[in-house]
């Protein structure tokens, strides 16, 4: 095994799941791209960890997501994911993306700021209730999930009473998506969750056709009825399922990853509370330092080279977003958490045609939430070390124990 093989293989160990950054540092020592031995990390033939090369591959139209299977024996979870814009290539990806871009606009997100503030306050009320006795509460359960679920739910048109029911089904699909999550029992659980969620969103689409409201599903239904886009109901449902899941999980991780750094640095906490720019810069550094999405895969349509490493047509490149965001060629002292960095531009939400459609909304939620949390609970403290989820694809916390008052 080569040094690159060893570094990538170590990433898949329990220790590598908990702390991948020493292995990323080793890959940076070897260069921005390294070939991989067949079988070390199937189906990848090369690993890209340099910021510039990862960004280039994501933007290059000569690279696509792994082509979807066209047969009819797909599992339900596979079938629904491959119909969504997150997992598909053109022309399907472009058709879905254009429909959602029309209603998920930057202007619409900006106009949501007052509503997001109200939802932050509501989530803080829930957090206050959970910690009213002075005991330990879990920030993930009581806030980091509740806020993004409420925000994206309100935008889509999801009933607030369904948020808890949706959470468990999101987790079951995320477990399947993680590398190593393809065991039969995990697949069976994900399939069941997919069927339940599909019926849920199909019913939501039907209800909005009959009774339109001021939400994203109603706008999509109107646009489709007017012939502005061509999406079948199963495609619409697939995209709604993935939009809600991705919008919740990435923001939950952003909030949970960021809070400990805020609480461990009084000077940063004070700046975030008093300087609007400081909150935005803090969010960008969290996105860089603890990327929620740690990697992606891309396949070239023709034989090519990536950073001087030959990659055959159909050979998948392992794009390490978490490593690119700690590339010493892009960021001085990359393993130091520094929220005063300028022009950081982390590749946390991808790049190119598959850039995360909800990135602006996620940033808005975190930018508003962090100072509002500190202002509401100036005595908030960590009550123990955060517990990582142990996932490879998504870097987040299973729990962040806190107390709302402390010395």
The tens place of each residue's pLDDT in the chain, 407 residues long, gives 899 999 999 999 999 999 999 999 999 999 999 999 977 777 899 999 999 999 999 999 999 998 765 554 688 998 898 899 998 999 889 999 999 988 888 888 888 999 999 999 999 999 999 999 999 999 999 999 999 999 999 999 998 899 889 989 998 998 898 876 678 899 999 999 999 999 999 999 999 999 999 999 999 999 999 888 888 899 999 999 999 999 999 999 999 999 999 999 999 999 999 998 999 999 999 999 999 999 999 999 999 999 999 999 999 999 999 999 999 999 999 999 999 998 899 999 999 999 999 999 999 999 999 999 999 999 999 999 999 999 999 999 999 999 998 54
CA distance 356 to 106: 13
CA distance 291 to 302: 30
Give residue 181's pLDDT.
64
Asked if 67 contacts 340 with a C-beta cutoff of 8 angstroms, the reply is no
Q: Which of 105, 65, 58 is nearest to 87 (CA)?
A: 65
CA distance 123 to 146: 7
Asked if 258 contacts 279 with a C-beta cutoff of 8 angstroms, the reply is no
Which CATH class name applies to 3-403? mainly alpha
Give residue 178's pLDDT.
83
CA distance 152 to 215: 10
Q: What is the DSSP letter of 401?
A: E
Question: What is the pTM (predicted TM-score) of this model?
Answer: 0.94
Give residue 286's pLDDT.
98
CA 50 vs CA 33, 86, 320, 327, 332: distances in Å: 7, 23, 8, 6, 14
Give residue 297's pLDDT.
95
Q: What are phi and psi of 266, to 5 degrees?
A: -55, -35
CA distance 109 to 156: 12
Other beta carbons less than 10 A from residue 89's beta carbon: 18
Domain ranges of the chain: 3-403
Give residue 73's pLDDT.
63
Asked if 258 contacts 370 with a C-beta cutoff of 8 angstroms, the reply is yes
Place of tokens 């998506």: 177
């Amino acid at each position: 095994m080569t040094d690159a093989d060893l570094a990538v293989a170590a990433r898949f160990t329990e220790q590598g799941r908990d702390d991948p950054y020493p292995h990323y540092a080793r890959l940076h020592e070897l260069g921005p791209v390294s070939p991989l031995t067949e079988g070390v990390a199937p189906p990848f033939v090369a690993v890209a960890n340099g910021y510039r090369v990862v960004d280039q591959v994501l933007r290059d139209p000569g690279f696509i997501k792994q082509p979807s299977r066209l047969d009819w024996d797909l599992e339900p979870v596979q079938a629904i994911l491959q119909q969504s814009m997150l997992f598909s290539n053109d022309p399907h990806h472009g058709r879905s993306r254009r429909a959602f871009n029309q209603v998920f606009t930057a202007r619409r997100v900006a106009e949501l700021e007052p509503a997001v503030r109200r939802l932050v306050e509501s989530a803080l009320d829930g957090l206050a209730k959970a910690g009213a006795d002075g005991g330990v509460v879990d920030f993930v359960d009581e806030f980091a999930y509740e806020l993004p679920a409420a925000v994206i739910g309100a935008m889509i048109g999801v009933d607030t009473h369904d948020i808890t029911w949706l959470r468990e089904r999101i987790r079951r699909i995320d477990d399947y998506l993680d590398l190593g999550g393809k065991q039969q029992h995990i697949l069976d659980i994900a399939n069941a969750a997919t069927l339940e969620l599909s019926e849920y969103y199909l019913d939501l689409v039907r209800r909005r056709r009959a009774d339109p409201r001021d939400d994203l599903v109603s706008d999509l239904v109107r646009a489709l009825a007017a012939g502005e886009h061509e999406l079948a109901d199963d495609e619409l449902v697939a995209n709604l399922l993935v939009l809600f899941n991705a919008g919740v999980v990435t923001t939950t991780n952003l909030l949970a990853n960021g809070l400990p750094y805020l609480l461990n640095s009084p000077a940063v906490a004070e700046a975030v509370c008093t300087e609007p720019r400081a909150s935005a810069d803090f969010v960008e550094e969290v996105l860089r330092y603890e990327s929620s999405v740690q990697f992606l895969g891309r396949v070239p349509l023709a034989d090519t080279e990536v950073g001087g490493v030959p990659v055959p047509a159909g050979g998948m490149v392992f794009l390490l977003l978490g490593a690119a965001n700690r590339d010493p060629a892009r960021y001085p002292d990359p393993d130091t958490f520094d929220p005063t960095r300028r022009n950081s531009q982390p590749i946390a939400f991808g790049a190119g045609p598959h850039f995360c459609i909800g990135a602006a909304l996620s940033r808005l939620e975190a930018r508003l939430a962090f100072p509002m949390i500190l202002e509401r609970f100036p005595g908030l403290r960590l009550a123990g070390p955060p517990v990582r989820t142990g996932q490879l694809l998504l870097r987040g916390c299973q729990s962040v124990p806190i107390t709302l008052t402390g010395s």
